[in-house]
Amino acid sequence: MSLDAVLAKIDEDLDAATERLMTFLRIPSISTDPAYKGDVAAAADWLVRDLESIGIEARAHSTPGHPMVVGHGGDGDRRILFYGHYDVQPVDPLELWERDPFDPSIEETPSGTVIRGRGASDDKGQLMTFVEACRAWKAVHGTLPGRLTFLFEGEEESGSPSLVPFLQENRDLLEADLGLICDTALYGSERPAITTMLRGLLGEEIVIQGPSKDLHSGSFGGPAINPIRVLARILSSLHDETGRVTVPGFYDDVEEVSDQVLDQWNALGFDAEAFLGSVGLSHPAGESDRTALEQIWSRPTCEINGIKGGYAGAGFKTVLPAEASAKISFRLVAAQDPQKIRAAFRKMVEEALPADCTVRFHDHGAAPASRMDISDPAFEAARHALSEEWPEEAAYVGAGGSIPVAGHLQEILGLDSMLIGFGKSDDQIHSPNEKYDLTSFHRGMRSWARILAAIA
């Protein structure tokens, strides 16, 4: 089937596609605020109608929270599941918006034409790039480019409480061979990227208990154990002089990135000095034998996120506190098991306690990392397809943060996913005046058409 005709149809219908997106953006589908429950449902219904308009059998499935929209259409040997989310972040602080967040507009800026409004980039605009690619394909060929399943979530911005149960209860409905997720960004402004690894996250809070009450340091300082001193010693022991984490067994399951991927990363021209300089720093502080990009995308970390103990208010108080606490997060990679790391960390802390001290632990969640199997020829086919559309060659990249749905699709449905998005670092997602470049929307549609032609 002719790809050129589909690309021409996308170009021809850009104005109509943009207006459909604007209509979608006018629905205030804020999932975190119960006051917008009806609007979230309205957004789900809008998607159902839009999918149906291109011949996709679609339905909004009820959950204990907001609806999951599922659609099916097309035919082919390879079954492809596309995921996006239609809920959006709250708009606060409203006074910082230059216009009503749900009255979207097309604006000319020094860097080009943008679509301004809440959800433009995260994730309504991204979601619609795929739908519009399918619409153009259907208009040209009378069919869809492959056997497609659409999964649109309405709770991503509120922690996805219904997602895992829905995936578990609807495996047959969502059965596929490959996942596509459009909730990521370009690398820079003109280089498309396929995110193939996402770090996991483990949160721990430790509370060191010493004396039964706060003490006067003049009366008890010296002979009485100070929980802050104990806590400081434990925290300082979490890294060695090279920046490596010292929790026993921490690196046992860490896998090395292939030379092929490392070569691509090195070719990206990442400027560590500029990256750190933008936040007033100058020297990488992690593992000394790894590049800054490796540290962000493919290496595990241990970070101290907060410390509390004693008196920290105005003035001075010579208190010896009864307890001290710290919050610690671990970013995990590859095959690291969060529960194994949790157990090793807690054992390390317990073994470091002196006499007269005890420790309490508070669990703050755990999610494993995701790493996609790029040996599937579809990954390389998609990378070449993206490279045909954009000025710079597409690259496999990692992500320092977490996108939990990728791991859930892997764990529950057995799907490796390509995470492909067209957002930019200045899109101001989650912030006032969110935008999505019109070129991202336009080229995003063309990109999906190329990818589907290559893999479906």
In terms of domains, do 353 and 401 share one?
A: no
Per residue in 380-414, pLDDT (tens digit) is: 999 999 999 999 999 999 988 878 899 999 999 99
Per-residue pLDDT, averaged over 196-215, amounts to 95
Query: Any idea what the CATH number is for the domain that residue 419 is in?
Result: 3.40.630.10
**Of 367, 389, 424, which residue sits at a domain end?**
367
In terms of domains, do 123 and 172 share one?
A: yes
Name the residue range of residue 117's domain. Answer: 3-198+370-455
Per residue in 174-204, pLDDT (tens digit) is: 999 999 999 999 998 999 999 999 999 999 9
Q: Is 117 left (phi over 0), alpha (psi -120 to 50) or beta?
A: left
* pLDDT confidence of residue 381: 97
Closest CA to 447 of 427, 424, 422: 422
Per residue in 258-310, pLDDT (tens digit) is: 998 899 999 999 999 999 999 999 988 999 999 999 999 999 999 999 999 99
Q: Indicate if the alpha-carbon torsion angle 223, 229, 234, 238 is positive or negative.
A: negative
Per-residue pLDDT, averaged over 371-385, amounts to 95
Q: Is residue 278 part of a domain?
A: no
Residue 173 reports pLDDT greater than 70: yes
How many folded domains does the chain comprise?
2
Closest CA to 61 of 144, 175, 174: 174
Q: Is residue 305 part of a domain?
A: yes
Amino acid at 439: T
Task: Tell whether omega for the bond before 93 is within 30 degrees of 0, i.e. cis.
Answer: yes
Neighbours of 423 (CB within 10 A): 23
**d(Cα 219, Cα 334) in Å, to the nearest integer?**
51
Residue 365 reports pLDDT greater than 90: no
Band (pLDDT 50/70/90 cuts) for residue 1 is low
Q: Is residue 422 part of a domain?
A: yes
Q: Is residue 146 part of a domain?
A: yes
* pLDDT confidence of residue 334: 84
Read off the tokens for 238: 């979490």
Give all strands (DSSP E) within 182-282, no chain letters: 193-198, 200-209, 215-216
Instruction: Dump the DSSP string for 403-456.
Output: -HHHHHHHHHH---EEEE--B-TTS-TTSTT-EEEHHHHHHHHHHHHHHHHHH-
In terms of domains, do 149 and 16 share one?
A: yes
* pLDDT confidence of residue 339: 96
Q: Is residue 34 part of a domain?
A: yes
In terms of domains, do 238 and 184 share one?
A: no
Share of the chain above pLDDT 90, in %: 93
- Residue length, the chain? 456
363 within 8 A of 144, measured Cβ to Cβ: no
**Of 335, 367, 399, which residue sits at a domain end?**
367
Fill in the DSSP letter of residue 256: P
Share of the chain above pLDDT 70, in %: 100
In terms of domains, do 230 and 168 share one?
A: no
Residue 104 reports pLDDT greater than 90: yes
**Residue environment code for 324-334, b if the CB has 16+ CB neighbours within 10 A, otherwise e:** bbbbbbbbbbb
DSSP strand pairing (370-371 vs 193-198): antiparallel
386 within 8 A of 405, measured Cβ to Cβ: no
Q: Is residue 136 part of a domain?
A: yes
In terms of domains, do 97 and 64 share one?
A: yes
Query: Any idea what the CATH number is for the domain that residue 218 is in?
Result: 3.30.70.360
Per-residue pLDDT, averaged over 105-109, amounts to 97
* pLDDT confidence of residue 342: 98
Instruction: Determine the 3-state secondary structure of 144 from DSSP.
Output: coil
In terms of domains, do 52 and 106 share one?
A: yes
In terms of domains, do 192 and 205 share one?
A: no
Per residue in 135-159, pLDDT (tens digit) is: 999 999 999 999 999 999 999 999 8
Phi first, then psi: what are they for 430, rounded to 5°? 70, 0
Per residue in 410-444, pLDDT (tens digit) is: 999 999 999 999 999 999 999 999 999 999 999 99
* pLDDT confidence of residue 87: 98
In terms of domains, do 165 and 231 share one?
A: no
* pLDDT confidence of residue 92: 95
Q: Is residue 263 part of a domain?
A: no
**Of 367, 398, 422, which residue sits at a domain end?**
367
In terms of domains, do 38 and 101 share one?
A: yes
The alpha helices in 123-271, defined as continuous H runs, are 124-141, 163-169, 217-220, 227-236, 259-267
**pTM of the model as a whole:** 0.87
In terms of domains, do 325 and 436 share one?
A: no
Per residue in 232-265, pLDDT (tens digit) is: 999 999 999 999 999 999 999 999 999 988 999 9
Band (pLDDT 50/70/90 cuts) for residue 456 is confident
Read off the tokens for 309: 């103990």
In terms of domains, do 60 and 175 share one?
A: yes
Q: Indicate if the alpha-carbon torsion angle 440, 443, 447, 453 is positive or negative.
A: positive
* pLDDT confidence of residue 72: 98
Per residue in 57-100, pLDDT (tens digit) is: 999 999 999 999 999 999 988 999 999 999 999 999 999 999 99
Per residue in 446-455, pLDDT (tens digit) is: 999 999 999 9
Instruction: Dump the DSSP string for 46-69.
Output: HHHHHHHTTT-EEEEE--SSS-EE
- Max Cα separation, the chain? 86
